[in-house]
Amino acid sequence: MYELYYWPMIQGRGEFVRLALEEAGADYADIARDKNGMEKMLAVMEEGPHPSFAPPFLRHGKKCIGQTATILLYLGDRHNLAPTSETGRLWTQQIQQTLADAVFEAHETHHPVGLGLYYEDQKPEARKRAQEFRKERIPKFLDWFETILTRNPGGTRYLVGKSLTYADLSLFQLVEGLDYAFPKATRRALKKTPKVAALRDAVAKRPRIAAYLASERRIPFNEDGIFRRYPEIDG
């Protein structure tokens, strides 16, 4: 039984962990979404030898693991969502950390000058940052994913080898988020990255992922999360 701790109102970084747990069919509780869950989360953040700097974090027995990519490193080994070879494990983790960079940059588009300020207080700056993100960064990230799919010796269906890894699930989520926040730029980029588009569609159709996406466990995208739809910065 896993305990996932993350902000209860958004997909955010927690969603990359949720998707792995769902695909694995793992038994988990999304603690902060329960009654008094936020208090529990904030209490756990203050305790133990391994406190996380920020959610998400995962408790499993005595273990408490934070940072999305580190959590996935742990879950990947346990649920056959990563290769067992050292080279394959590292490559999957390298892809995940690159995904994390893209997620970070997506967040910057609405909070370029102050993480603690409201979006409304940094609209002109957000417009500038989002313009570069749409025109330069979305195509650059998706091109890189297309390249590594193309070069995968195991075929173009998955990012690593011949079976699904947590990186595939995360790429699905990144594309979903980009498509929500910047639909025009993302669809333009996806036309040039058909293998990325196909992977996204294939992940969405996996039985456990499809069931999850249709359930109430999947929080809808919204303007408190990482991927936000603000028409004025979609260009």
Strand-strand pairing, 57-60 and 63-66? antiparallel
Site string for a copy of itself, 124-153 (x = CB under 8 A): -x--xx--x---xx---x--x--xx--xxx
User: What's the sign of the alpha-carbon dihedral 14, 57, 19, 8?
Assistant: negative
CA dist 205 and 213 (Å) reads 10
Our finding on whether 50 is near a copy of itself (CB under 8 A) is yes
CB 18 within 8 A of CB 4: yes
Our finding on whether 114 is near a copy of itself (CB under 8 A) is yes
CB 211 within 8 A of CB 203: no
Strand-strand pairing, 63-66 and 2-5? unpaired
CB of 190 to a copy of itself, least distance (A): 18
**Only segment of 34-42, 65-73, 206-214, 219-227 that touches a copy of itself (CB under 8 A):** 65-73
User: What's the sign of the alpha-carbon dihedral 47, 48, 51, 55?
Assistant: negative
Residue from 116, 155, 207, 220 touching a copy of itself (CB under 8 A): that is 116
**CB-nearer residue toward a copy of itself: 161 or 225:** 161
Cβ neighbour number for residue 140 with a 10 Å cutoff = 12
Residues 20-49 that bind a copy of itself (CB under 8 A): 48-49
**CB-nearer residue toward a copy of itself: 101 or 224:** 101
Residue from 26, 29, 37, 67 touching a copy of itself (CB under 8 A): that is 67
CB of 131 to a copy of itself, least distance (A): 8
Residues linked to residue 58 through DSSP beta bridges, in sequence order: 4, 65
CB 121 within 8 A of CB 110: no
Give the binding site for a copy of itself (CB under 8 A): 48-53, 63, 65-67, 69-70, 73-74, 86-87, 90-91, 93-94, 97-98, 100-101, 104-105, 108, 112-117, 122, 125, 128-129, 132, 136-137, 141, 144, 147-148, 151-153
